[in-house]
Amino acid sequence: MLIDLMRHGETQMPGRLLGRTDPPLSEAGWRQMERQTAGRSWDVVVASPRRRTEAGAARVAAKRGRTLRIDADWAELDFGAWDGRLPADVRADPEAAEAFAAFYGSPDAAAPPGGETWSALVARVARALDRVLAEPAASTALVVTHAGPMRATLALTCAIPFANLWAFSIKPGTRITLRAGRDNTAGLWGEIVEVVQP
């Protein structure tokens, strides 16, 4: 199956850690969605339940006569007490800075205060990916999601180690096309076909 993973466009709160915090798309974000989906079609359109993903995906699905499927497992990582803050502001607090560095350094490090670990994110993205791959008679899918779930999908399908995931720039509006599937012997597999920055 060909899966287009697309990060929602720029929001009205750019540069912040947006997990549960859910600002709407900016005008630039809507233009990014339009450019990245123009001239393309999919059998299945799926989105995270956040309005910054759902709104754009709903427009894409409606234009193509598809029903939008909302899947909570594609939601962004919950950043807990850091949610909605600028990374620089979190790092300005020495105690938080140490926890922040540990969190980004290891998938099994402690979660942000009141938040979610990377491992928990990967586990739910694995479930969501299985549902996409199990879609009957579908050969193409668009998943409008967030940078965290996109990195988790790359780790799961392409066996990219956690530390190497930060080599991918996934700005708002980025689209990554994967060819992915599940083999009875080898399990989940994938290859990156295309990366299109906004």
The secondary structure of 61-92 as a DSSP string is: HHHTT--EEE-GGGSPP--GGGTTS-HHHHHT
160 domain residue, yes or no? yes
pLDDT at position 172, please? 97
Helices 118-133 and 147-158: angle between axes, nearest 10 degrees = 70
pLDDT at position 157, please? 96
174 domain residue, yes or no? yes
DSSP 111: P
Domain range for residue 171?
2-84+121-196
pLDDT at position 47, please? 98
The whole-number mean pLDDT for each consecutive block of 10 residues of the chain, a chain of 198 residues, reads 98 96 97 97 98 97 97 97 96 92 82 92 97 94 98 96 90 97 89 96
157 domain residue, yes or no? yes
Token pair for residue 198?
């906004």
pLDDT at position 78, please? 96
pLDDT at position 89, please? 96
pLDDT at position 145, please? 98
**CATH number of the domain bearing residue 75:** 3.40.50.1240
92 domain residue, yes or no? no
Q: What is the pTM of this model?
A: 0.95
99 domain residue, yes or no? no
98 domain residue, yes or no? no
50 domain residue, yes or no? yes
pLDDT at position 106, please? 82
167 domain residue, yes or no? yes
Question: How many domains is the chain built from?
Answer: 1
Digit-coded pLDDT (tens) for 182-193: 988 878 999 999
pLDDT at position 184, please? 84
Residue 118, classed as helix, strand or coil, is helix
Residue 3, classed as helix, strand or coil, is strand
Token pair for residue 94?
């020495």
| Residue 190, H or E segment | strand 187-196
